[in-house]
Amino acid sequence: MQRRDFLFGCAAAAAIADPVLHAEHASAAQRPSAERPHEWSRARLLDTDGEPLKASSIEPRKALLFAYPFVGTPAFLIDLDKPTQRSVQLETQDDERYTWEGGVGPKRSIVAFSAICAHKMAYPTREITFINYRDEPSAVTRRAHVIHCCSEHSEYDPAAGARVLAGPATQPLAAIVLEHDAHDDSLHAVGTRGGELFDSFFERFAMKLSLEHGGAEHRPVGASTTVVPIERYCRQLMRCN
């Protein structure tokens, strides 16, 4: 037997002898990498007049809301008014590592994250929101410039990829990947990065979301999505202080 045939035979025998190991390697090769963003529809961000939202027109340190990547999944848009951290290394609750590249815009200060809390999935509704951006510290939120959820007091740092700072949340908020066009100052949402909760979110709040969105909650937002101030979307903003 030639050496080449011998080596081929040994490799085949090893695969047969350990099918579980072989299956695990195949499964790992097929799994998508958390390092690559999940590409959704490329959606232009619009203002409340239906015009392309200009990065320079965003009021600093105020929470805005838009739907992405589905009609029923809300997201925050915030201009932190100062450059964010860059290339932040983060990890999902399933131990998948990923890199958040940082803010966009002229100051590299504009960020977007899923507005679904990573603990019990509290989210902004038309009636009320327990999760919001806090620019000032309070008796409950001792830190300033955080995304805070009053439901169980999870806190996230939007300048560091929505890294968990406090509370029971087990992973950062999923990041919305933004693109800024310096030529016309426009913004697009193009994907997500990190631990998505969309499937669990739709399952847990199925009836409520259907009533809120007329059954369109699972529909992708398409080519555009409208950005509104959170106080215009929610009737009550819980301060929990």
CATH superfamily label, 36-237:
Rieske [2Fe-2S] iron-sulphur domain (2.102.10.10)
Q: Tell me: cis bond preceding 69? Omega within 30 of 0 counts.
A: yes
C-alpha separations of 191 from 13, 25, 59, 68, 178 in Å: 43, 28, 24, 9, 8
Minimal CA–CA distance to 52: which of 175, 158, 183, 176? 183
Minimal CA–CA distance to 113: which of 191, 6, 25? 191
Question: Taking 70 as the threshold, does the pLDDT of residue 42 lie above it?
Answer: yes
Residue-range domain boundaries for the chain: 1-31, 36-237
User: What is the maximum span of the chain, computed from C-alpha positions, in angstroms?
Assistant: 80
pTM of the model: 0.85
Structure tokens at 74: 């809300």
The model's pLDDT over 52-99, given as tens digits with 9 standing for 90+, comes to 999 999 999 999 999 999 999 999 999 999 999 999 999 999 999 999
The model's pLDDT over 123-141, given as tens digits with 9 standing for 90+, comes to 999 999 999 999 998 878 7
